[in-house]
Amino acid sequence: MNDVERRARLEAVVREVAEPVRRYLIRRVGPFAAEDVLSDVLLACWRRIDDIPADALPWAYGVARRCLANARRAAARREQLGVRLRALEPPAVAFAAEEGDDAIAVRAALERLRVVDAEVLRLWAWEGLEAADIAVALGITPNAAAIRLHRAKSRLRAELGKDRPGSGHVEHEGMEA
Amino acid sequence: MDDRDLRDRLRAADPASAFDALDTERISRMIERTTAAPEPPKRKARGWWVGGAGLAAAAALAVAIVVPLTRTPEPTRLTAPGGDAASAMCMAVTPELLAERDLAFQGTVSSIADGLVTLDVERVFKGDVAPRAVVVQQDAEFADFSGTVFETGATYLVSTVGSEVAACGQSGPMSSELLALYEAAYVG
């Protein structure tokens, strides 16, 4: 690619990935830190413009995952130095104006799962990825992603089952077509 | 609860659902800001050379050197440490031990040529690891003790001490056991 082609490719990639990657980051670190990390992700895309595959989004999620890990490490180092700048924890509450009890219970159940299980479920439900793209985003094999996703779903169902009496969610068993 | 119900419930709990989409003007500003950064390197100055052969006898680790890969005709190379494999002793591999490593990644061998193993890096657990790593292939004799002989097409988990690949089971072929140790060490 020459310089003009690279610039055009970057524009196309940013228009495709900026919004979904921003949401990916908001879900994991909240809206304020998400803006900073998104800049890092786009810069990484620019630096690696020759390596970006045709299906850029799952790859970009993988870049975002690594940028997020770097940001968390940097935040941990700052914290060790007694400097707390901007929180990099997952948002404790949703930002929706109105939210039902079930959404709170579901996020609480997600938090109780192992980190790897919760993450594969977020990628599946929130980022809307299937196993093959989850594999790209996590840097694992498609087979491993499919197995991990299957197990994580079972574990989340079990967790939600524990919550059922107070969850506000009503199962309509026997009513499915 | 079938998959669709589960996904719907998760989506209803999406913490990002209340945010408006970026408008085109903001996206244009992002593009301008991003491209204002220095030009990306043109297929050079990315990747790592991971080279060398030898084991630090006392530490029983250490087989390779990592230096920036510059894909120029004359890449910078560092001298590999020497060592005496026969005197090596290995510690048990634990998440705590792995957590002390400086770089850790998962990669699949795309080629082996002239004693150099090229891995496509698929997952970075720790450190600033480029998309590609090049490792000097180990002697089979040496690997019998503690190292790894790489094979084309196989996937490996690799960790390093400084610029040297950690041996003694801390790097090795992908397995559910080693992956579990890496995830415990780096993912949490």
Q: Report d(CA B82, CA B63) in Å as an integer.
A: 9
State yes or no: pLDDT of B49 exceeds 70.
Answer: no
Q: pLDDT at residue B47 above 70?
A: no
Lowest mean pLDDT among A100-104, B76-80, B87-91, B171-175: B76-80
User: A-chain residues within 8 Å CB-CB of B18?
Assistant: 94-97
Q: Is the Cβ pair A22, B22 closer than 8 Å?
A: yes
Map tokens 């690799």 to a residue. Answer: B158
Look at B148 and B171; give whichever has higher pLDDT. B171
Q: What is the pLDDT of residue B127?
A: 83
Residue B2 touches partner A, C-beta closer than 8 Å = yes
Q: What is the pTM of this model?
A: 0.56
B155 contacts chain A (CB < 8 A): yes
By the CB < 8 Å criterion, does B4 face chain A? no
For residue B60, the model assigns a pLDDT of 30
Instruction: List all residues of chain B from 93 to 122 with a beta carbon under 8 Å from chain A.
Output: 106, 121-122
Judge: domain B72-187, CATH 2.60.120.10: no
What are the chain B neighbours of A100 within 8 Å (beta carbons)?
12
pLDDT tens for each residue of A104-148: 899 999 999 998 999 999 999 999 999 999 999 998 899 999 999
Optimal mutation site among A9, A25, A41, A48, interface B, most CBs of chain B within 10 A: A48
Q: Which of B2, B3, B8, B19 to mutate to test the interface with A (most CBs of A within 10 A)?
A: B19
pLDDT of residue B147: 64
Whether the CB of A91 is below 8 Å from some CB of chain B: the reply is yes
Q: What is d(CA B71, CA B93) in angstroms, rounded to the nearest whole number?
A: 34
A49 touches chain B (CB under 8 A): yes
Contact (CB<8Å) A43/B34: yes
Q: What is the rounded CA–CA span in Å between residue B4 and residue A106?
A: 15
Query: Looking at the predicted structure, is the pLDDT value of residue B187 above 50?
Result: yes
Q: Tell me whether strands B132-136 and B116-126 are parallel, antiparallel or unpaired.
A: antiparallel
A108 to chain B: closest CA residue? B13
Chain A closest-CA separation from residue B27 CA (Å): 7
Q: Which residue has the higher pLDDT, A55 or B35?
A: A55
Q: Tally C-beta pairs within 8 A across A and B.
A: 126
As a whole number, mean pLDDT of residues A20-40 equals: 91
pLDDT in tens, B21-33: 999 999 999 999 8
Could you give the percent of chain B with pLDDT greater than 90?
Answer: 15
Q: How far apart are CA B163 and CA B65, in angstroms?
A: 5
pLDDT at A100 over 60: yes
Q: Does the distance separating the beta carbons of B11 and A93 come in below 8 Å?
A: no
For residue B8, give how far its alpha carbon lies from the nearest alpha carbon of chain A (Å). Answer: 8
A107 touches A94 (CB < 8 A): yes
Band the pLDDT of B36: cuts 50, 70, 90: confident
> Touching check for B23 and chain A: CB below 8 Å?
no
Mean pLDDT of chain A: 82
Burial B82-120 (b: 16+ CB within 10 A, else e): ebebeebeeeebeeebbeebebbbbbbbeebeeeebbbe
Q: State the Cα–Cα distance between residues B44 and A171, nearest whole angstrom.
A: 57
> What does the domain layout of chain B look like in residue ranges?
72-187
Residues 6+ apart with CB under 8 A from A90: A27, A28, A29, A30
Q: Would the pLDDT of B135 be above 70?
A: yes
Helix axes B24-35, A3-47, angle to 10 degrees: 90
Query: Residue B103 — very low, low, confident or very high, per pLDDT cuts 50/70/90?
Result: confident
pLDDT band at residue B48 using 50, 70 and 90 as cut-offs: very low
